[in-house]
Chains A and B, each alone.
Chain A
Amino acid sequence: MKLKHSVQTALTGLTTHKSRSALTILGVVIGITSIILVMSLGQGAQNLILSQVNGLGATTIAVIPGKISGGPSSAAQTLSDSLKDSDLTALETKANVPYAKEVMPMVLSGGNAVYGNQVYQVSLYGGGTLMTSIMNITVGEGNFFSDDDVLSKSQVVVIGYKVKDHLFDGDEAIGQKIRIGNNTFKVIGVLPQKGQSGLVNFDDAVIMPYTTAQTYVLGINYFNRIIVEADTQDHINATAADITNTLRSDHNITDPSQDDFSVETSADIASTLDTVTSALTAFLAAVAAISLVVGGIGIMNIMLVSVTERTREIGLRKALGACDHDILTQFLLEAVMLTATGGLIGILLGGFLSYVISIILTSALSLSWTFIFPWNAAALGLVVASLVGLVFGIYPARQASRKSPMEALRYE
């Protein structure tokens, strides 16, 4: 029997029992749908995160205190006081880091902001004017602080949208004074809603000059970050190396394993996040794949029922000249066509759902989410679905092909 006719025969077998066929492939449809969904959303999330990391600027280098450790925000790094004024001065010296365009220290903390009898928990950022460009900050009302404010340790702050909302409840915030710790700070700017920039949400933020934060809030003389902007992307690795050498000589370190700081470019951060999101996506896809196995067992079950039910048909076909191989092909094709159809539906459904989700994420949460159709996963999904049919169809198909024509014809 030619393949073309085997396909026709299998198709007839499937369309005769439409609702059964539909129910049978449900497991495969769900499995493939979830895989596509996970892969599409995973890649979308990855792209979003990477674009935001890259938004930090391809020329941005972060110097982080403390030994290189597992995570980017481990306690050791936040508590370490290894980055001092002398380091800042050394890095600002052209001879040490010739390609550095700008150097900006930062301090990070948390605390309560108070206005009247309103208290709100905020994230505290102490930085320089460079923050506006590096972190993509635009001020909605008022102004950002100036370089003079940084030099003179002015007690001024720029507050996030939610901070204003909670403390001032719709009243004018600019010019008012809020209290953090034992000192008061004048609000000179308010960030617009969705102060989402880079990986940081500035809605809950209070931003002030780092000098102010060091002196009036934290009482420290070290930094939590030093951000260095290289002049061009080509010089980023050279600059990272210069920074490392400068800080080592400044800290009298000869053995690189004793470094009490780490230097990260946005490419480093991107690759770390890339690994994390890839691992997460792979894990979720593996969970989704379990439903494929369950779906496959369902297929096997139904095919076995179908083989028993169609015993007479099998007997007849054999009496009319079908050999074992023809029957095997017919039932195997039925199984594979079922699962491949399920796979196709799953791919379309998964693609559609992730498209809908991407629209929701873009419009409702105003994320710069891009819909990605995971072509690789789709192709793989189709292959896997067909394989499920092949693997779980072979046993019922063999059962069918081994029936003796005489016994099959006698079957009631």
Chain B
Amino acid sequence: MNIIETKNLWKVYDNEGTKTEALRGITLAIKKGEFVAIMGPSGSGKSTLLQILGLLDNHTDGTYVFSGKDIGSYDQEEIARMRNGKMGFVFQAFNLLPHASVLDNVKLPLMYSNIPEGEWDVRAQEAVVDVGLEHRMYHQATQLSGGEKQRVAIARALVCDPEVIFADEPTGNLDSKSGEAVIDIIQKLNTEMGHTIILITHETYTAEYAQRIVRLHDGEIVSDEAVSNRKTRADTFVK
């Protein structure tokens, strides 16, 4: 079953009369439980695609069906609810609330959800444990290392138990060691917990943790193939 289906998706930015075509007819289907990496050089439209798939931005033309329903029929409030309950985001810049504790950062999406308040603490704690940060539960976000911050962001993306997790260059601001730890956790979310993952990266090395790599160039899909020799963290240790 496809969780995401796009047909001939276009995104045109109109900047004071200058039109920029960021996406030019993207047709893509992603199955539930898949781990897809989207690659491409900068300016290829990969971030734009992720923002549209993650309902952070509107597309100009074409159709986007999420979970069997055309998102064109949703109003702003429903889209906000979808972002909250069905999608999780991990950004390159972490985007944590700097003065809030790890636990409070993870709780943030719950505050906008319909999940009863009584469950918040337990859910947030579980998510923090899932990313291995139980010893940092009450630390302020500013006291954490980059890798830890990104793990908090992953816990935050997880806490509402979303169908799809969007990760936009999650290792982009990290050294290779913390980057590996982060990508390993993301892979486990897919293999062990069954979340659909859409990962944006420009490193082939990182992309090979996925099952499938979609390459973009100038707003078009240029290749879409399965990863034959999928990486896991164990491989890195062997090497």
Q: How far is the CB of A2 from chain B (nearest CB, A)?
A: 8
Given the interface contacts A16-B99, A409-B95, does A321 sit within 8 Å of B77 by beta carbon? no
Separation of A1 and B160 alpha carbons in the complex (Å): 15
CB of A313 within 8 Å of the partner chain: yes
Classify the interface of chain A: helix, strand, loop or mixed.
helix
B8 shortest CB reach to chain A, Å: 21
Determine whether the beta carbon of B84 is less than 8 Å from that of A321: yes
Q: Which residues of B contact A409 (CB under 8 A)?
A: 56, 91, 95
- Partner among A2, A5, A406 whose Cβ is within 8 Å of the Cβ of B56: A406
* CB–CB B57/A322 < 8 A: no
Report the Cα distance A50→B99, complex, angstroms: 57
Chain B residue with Cβ nearest A9: B111
Instruction: Specify the chain B residue showing the minimal Cβ separation from A313.
Output: B97
Contact string against B for A residues 294-313, beta-carbon threshold 8 Å, 1 for contact and 0 otherwise: 00000000000000000011
Contact digits for A1-26, partner B, Cβ 8 Å, 1 yes 0 no? 11001000100100010000000000
Q: Which of B51, B83, B91 contacts A321 (CB 8 A)?
A: B83
In the complex with contacts A321-B84, A323-B77, A406-B100 CB distance below 8 A: no
A315→B76 CA distance, assembly (Å): 15
* Contact partner, B95, options A9, A312, A322, Cβ 8 Å: A312
Chain B window 70-94, contacts with chain A (Cβ cutoff 8 Å), 1 for yes, 0 for no: 0000001100110111000101000
B100 touches A5 (CB 8 A): no
Please name all residues of chain A whose beta carbon is closer than 8 Å to the beta carbon of B215 when the two chains form the complex: none
**B151 contacts the other chain (CB 8 A):** no
Chain B interface size band reads 20 to 34
Instruction: Check A320 for interface membership: any CB of B closer than 8 A.
Output: yes
Interfacial chain A residues near B85, Cβ < 8 Å: 321
B156 at the interface (CB under 8 A from A): yes
Complex contact A324–B76 (CB within 8 A): yes
Q: Are B56 and A405 in contact (CB under 8 A)?
A: yes
Q: Which of B80, B91, B156 contacts A318 (CB 8 A)?
A: B80
User: Which residues of B are at the interface with A, using a C-beta cutoff of 8 A?
Assistant: 51, 54, 56-57, 76-77, 80-81, 83-85, 89, 91, 95, 97, 99-100, 108-109, 111-113, 117, 156, 160
Q: List 13 A-B contacts (CB under 8 A).
A: A1-B111, A16-B99, A318-B83, A320-B156, A321-B81, A321-B84, A321-B109, A323-B112, A325-B77, A404-B57, A405-B57, A406-B56, A409-B56
> Which residues of A does B touch, CB under 8 Å?
1-2, 5, 9, 12, 16, 312-313, 315-326, 404-406, 409
